[in-house]
Chains A and B, each alone.
Chain A
Amino acid sequence: MLRALAKGMGTTLRMLFRKKQTLKYPFVKKERAQRFRGRHELRRYENGLEMCIGCELCQVACPAAAITVMPAQNDPENPNSPGERYAYKYEIDMLRCIFCGLCEEACPTEALHLTREFELADFTRESHIYGRDRLVNRHTSPFRVPENVYPPFHGLRPMHEDRGEETRA
């Protein structure tokens, strides 16, 4: 019996000098994998325009039905995104999200990106619904607006205006 006791204490003693597995979490954070999928962000082009065009493909790709996109037409004077369409409402319910990344994969403009941020705890359910205010980045990214794909939007144009430069020479 003493033998067993000594063995147990020995194990404890040995473990005491091993490298610690636990982290002092709020002060020390765990290393995350390079492709860790955390909170979403909606990126901006280098010229500051939003990359999201409100296509709703992320919404339909999401297996958890966590995303809601409401598109609208851009104001030609003050566009949100290149081209005619943008998302005037964009919501992700982080409580529903399973961080599968399918939305990111579906996004045709690479606007949607899952960051490595994981600290999403909060006190109410409502506060877990992230809107445009928390999802759209304030900073720009190195992406450039692709040419041809999103021609500048001038608003609806009358049928019989001067056709001018637009038909290719």
Chain B
Amino acid sequence: MSDTVTLTINGRAVQAPKGMGLVEAAALAGIEIPVFCHHRKLKPVGVCRMCLVEVEGQRKPVPACTTQVADGMVVRTESDLIRHLRQGVLEFLLLNHPLDCPVCDKGGECPLQDNTFKYGPATSRLSVPKMKKRKAVDLGNFIVLDEERCILCRRCTRFDAEVACEGTLVVGQRAHEALITTADGETYDSYFSGNVIELCPVGALTSKAYRFKGRPWDLSRVPSVCTACPVGCNIELDFRFGELARVLSRENPEVDNGWLCDRGRFNYRYVHSADRVTQPLLRRGDTFVPVSWTEALMEIASRLRSVVRDHGPEAVGFIGGGRLTNEEAYTFQKLAREAVGTPHIDHRVAGQKVTSWAGYPGRLDDIDGADVVVLVDVLPAEQMPVADLRIRRAAQRGAALLALGPAAPGYRVPHTFIPVMPAGLARFLEEAASLVAEGEGQGRTGELSTTGAPAGPGPAGVDGQEALVRALRSARRVVAIWGGTDAAVGRALERLLNACRRTGDDRRLSVLIPGEQANSRGAEAMGVRPDRLPGHRPVEAGAAGLDTAGMLQAAAQGRLHALYLVGANLQETYPDGRLVREALSRVPFLVVQDLFLTETARQADVVLPAAPFAAKSGTYVNLEGRVQEVQEAQAAGENSRTDGDIFRALAEALGRRLDRSSHEIRWEVQHLLEELTVDGFVTGAALPGEAGAGAPAPAAGTARGDGNRADGRRLELVAVSRLYGGGGTARFDPAFSAVRPRAEAIFHPDDAAELGIAAGDPVELSSGPEAVTLPARISPQVVKGTVQVPRGAEGPAVNMLLTGGWHAPVTVRRRVLEEVG
């Protein structure tokens, strides 16, 4: 039997693959069947009846969206009957649809407008007043709902249930009173809420940020790539009068599948924030004075030259670059290595150790076919949101989803969470590896270790290791997603995957690592690393520079005399606030290149205003190694410059022309990337060996001196990533400053009870001399024995308590009220 069928639509023979819906089959032949509720990414439901067609042999017209093609089917889409029915459907839909087109944000790109224009009756017969419902309902963080406009196609609720797998949006009420709502008391604060705006075929769901900003016809559209996380979703930037008015998805089935997360979609207004630094700033005493570019660059050049003269080039360090394009990152390391001559350069600003891994290269679409997805110390919804949709879908379709780590991922899809403390993670994986390799382990349940895991069963209620081993033994396609925070865990993971490979034959094993910044992998491939040159080439033995931790330590000890930070707000992002504080206050000369005057920039001697992503052209490498190109969409602005231009100008001021035009640099980068490309994807780097990459192992898990407070209790502090946390981009964006996480300490109910903490109580977390007071929250999602805090949150900087990793033991005690008041 062949896989295609032949049917007749409007007298024309059409070949279509078996199982295809009639709407798509007709589209193949260039015949349009109007639809409302149907969407090719959602399961058909057939509620709107707009797509009715006549099929020979059927007594009544059938909805095309729920009908599959069959051999010999004869379909008519343009008969008088169908035309009449369409008019009827439209008249019915418009019965209570308000006359809002002139004020509706969907106007101009509205399927209801378009279909009515094309297929509807020209005049209305309606003489009775329309039904009234609520307008401008605040549906969630970013969305406004107009209940009157909704035609109840249920695309939004289906998206929420089928794609986001969350099920917050529901249809409430009945019959003509039916409307879209959320379960009582909940707001629609999904990370993926923005997608329903694009799905909605009317203007019922609209964006708060784009509300009444313009019309589709006055926008100029520029294709681009999202730089908010390493997934690299494809986006379209819509400008009006040179101002970024909105961001839409630009479907790329291999990357984003047409979806965006809310950070990518709504976090764009910082580009036009009034708080942006617009002029180079020079420190004069306690204040900054605005200066010209020439003056700023001359100042930096002369200070750097004198540092190099007095202390040698190794006294200069460069940190940052994970958000630069590849071309800029390449220029950046040239500035450091060639113009200044220092080996100290590192793009890692948030404590990540490994950004890519050549061993088991993973692709995003591996997740779709996976039968086991293992999350190792990673929260995909926060670190790689749109890729998380694939994970959720895989779990919903029946793949085993196992999450290991100190924080539960909080899925609403079936999954197993195995609480393992980061310190015990490597051992846990290694033991699992030997169990898989032995091909036994059933009899060993009793002695299975959950090293480092807090006492008591985890929320999953299953013995974690056994569940993992069992799932891996039978799996054909395994995807491991790893946070890359600890090289030892990586090696253990490698052992585990090797064990799986040995027992299997045609297994496909892959690993994905979400970088800490959008282009971490690109920066790494371009050599923004102390231990690797462009193209992942290792530096000569002994010539490796200091990594971020090393540079900060050297600066704190007074061995580093100049530090140059690019888009790196270390005070917020680096998991050792104390070290950063010491380093920044000690280092004699600090240059910060950023969009905003962050707390780090405020300590600088020179601040250089950089241009936002929309002003750049170049390439990015996403977390799977895909190279994506962007074009300049916007001028850099009066007085800011793109990072690449700044590096070139500075090198020139240093008397070292990088003697390369941007074309040459582009060509070299392209060449480098091509060299690294295997099967169309840039390969990762090798996993750092046992010896460690020169850097001292993170002191994670060790206490920094002991406060020894009698009334305190020791819990493991776990700082978790938050999608809306961190970054000047969120803080200086009017849409995001409100949804940024607030600093809080989240406890398991048992721990809270033991400590006598109630929700809202101020609690003091301390480690050594540092103490931070946060309001408490209680959630059963938190692992017992840990206290969870969001990273990059608004409020006291929790990284003061950390020592290089995102977890550390702390002493917790309840603040007594007198002390607070």
Which A residues are closer than 8 A to B by beta carbons?
53-57, 59-60, 70-73, 83-85, 108-109, 148-151, 153-160, 163, 166-168
Residues of B within 8 A of A73 (CB): 211-212
Q: Which residues of B contact A53 (CB under 8 A)?
A: 102-103
Is residue B133 contacting chain A, with contact meaning CB distance below 8 A? yes
B759 is an interface residue with CB less than 8 A from chain A: no
A154 touches B182 (CB 8 A): no
Interface string of B108-149 (1 = CB under 8 A from A): 000000000000000000000111111111111000110000
One of A54, A70, A84 near B135 (C-beta < 8 A): A84
CB distance from B243 to the nearest CB of A (A): 10
Check A157/B102 contact, CB under 8 A, given A55-B107, A56-B215, A73-B212. Answer: no
> Does B181 reach chain A (CB closer than 8 Å)?
yes
A70, B211: Cα distance in complex, Å: 12
Interface string of B177-218 (1 = CB under 8 A from A): 100011011011000000000000000000010011111011
Chain A residue at minimum C-beta to C-beta distance from B187? A159
Q: From B135, B188, B218, give the contact of A151 (CB < 8 A).
A: B135
Question: Would you call B134 and A166 a contact (CB within 8 A)?
Answer: yes
Contact of A55 among B102, B135, B138 (CB under 8 A): B102
> Given contacts A84-B212, A159-B139, are A57 and B129 in contact (CB under 8 A)?
no
Interface size on B, residues (CB 8 A): 35
Give CA–CA (A58, B244) in the complex, Å: 23
The A contact surface, by secondary structure, is loop
Q: Check B182–A159 contact: CB distance below 8 A.
A: yes
B132 near A157: Cβ-Cβ < 8 Å: no
- 11 sample A-B contacts, Cβ–Cβ < 8 Å, listed by A number: A53-B102, A54-B103, A56-B215, A56-B218, A71-B212, A108-B102, A109-B102, A148-B129, A153-B135, A157-B136, A167-B177
Interface residues of B in 125-177 (CB under 8 A from A): 129-140, 144-145, 177
**Cβ contacts under 8 Å, B637 to chain A:** none
From A52, which residue of chain B is reached at the shortest CB distance? B102
A163→B137 CA distance, assembly (Å): 11
A156 lies within 8 A of B137 (CB): yes
A55-B107, A83-B103, A159-B181 are known contacts; what are 5 more A-B pairs with Cβ within 8 Å? A56-B214, A84-B103, A85-B212, A153-B135, A155-B136
Check: B98 CB closer than 8 A to any chain A CB.
yes
B215 touches A60 (CB 8 A): yes
* Chain A residue contacts of B213, Cβ below 8 A: 71
CA gap between A85 and B136 in the complex, in Å: 11
- Interface pair A55/B103, CB less than 8 Å apart: yes
Nearest CB on A from B198, distance (A): 21
Q: Please state if B139 and A148 are interface contacts (CB–CB under 8 Å).
A: no
Contacts of A70 in B (CB 8 A): 214
Looking at the assembled complex, report how far the CB atom of A138 sits from the nearest CB atom of chain B, in whole angstroms: 24
**Do A157 and B137 form a contact, CB below 8 Å, given A71-B212, A73-B211?**
yes
- Within 8 Å CB of B98, what residues of A? 148-149
B184 — nearest CB in chain A belongs to which residue?
A: A160
Could you tell me if A85 and B138 are in contact, using CB atoms closer than 8 angstroms? no
Q: How far is the CA of A109 from the CA of B102 in the complex (A)?
A: 9
CB distance from A83 to the nearest CB of B (A): 6
Given contacts A60-B217, A149-B98, A159-B182, contact A168 B132 (CB under 8 A): yes
Q: Shortest beta-carbon distance, B282 to chain A, in Å?
A: 37
**With A156-B137, A159-B139, A159-B187: A151-B132 Cβ-Cβ less than 8 Å:** yes
Q: B185 and A160: CB pair below 8 A? A: yes
Identify which of B129, B136, B187, B188 contacts A156 (C-beta below 8 A). B136
User: What are the residues of chain A within 8 A of B212 when measuring CB–CB?
Assistant: 54, 71-73, 84-85
Q: Whole-angstrom distance from the CB of A91 to the nearest CB of chain B?
A: 12
Kindly report which residue of chain B lies nearest to residue A59, judged by CB atoms. B218
Q: Is B99 an interface residue (CB 8 A)?
A: yes
Collect the chain A residues with CB atoms within 8 Å of residue B185's CB. Answer: 160
Closest 8 CB pairs of A and B: A55-B102, A85-B103, A156-B138, A71-B212, A108-B102, A56-B215, A85-B212, A73-B212
B128 to chain A, nearest CB (A): 11
* Known contacts A54-B212, A84-B212, A155-B136; A149/B99 CB under 8 A: yes
Which A residues lie within 8 Å of B103 (CB)?
53-55, 83-85, 150
CB-CB under 8 A from B211, the residues of chain A are: 73
B169 CB to closest chain A CB (Å) equals 11
Say which residue of B181, B182, B188, B214 sits within 8 Å of A71 (CB atoms).
Answer: B214
Within the assembled complex, what's the spacing in Å between the Cα atoms of A132 and B65? 49
Q: In the docked arrangement, what's the CA distance between A73 and B533, Å?
A: 53
A166-B136 contact given A55-B107, A84-B103, A149-B98, CB 8 Å threshold: no
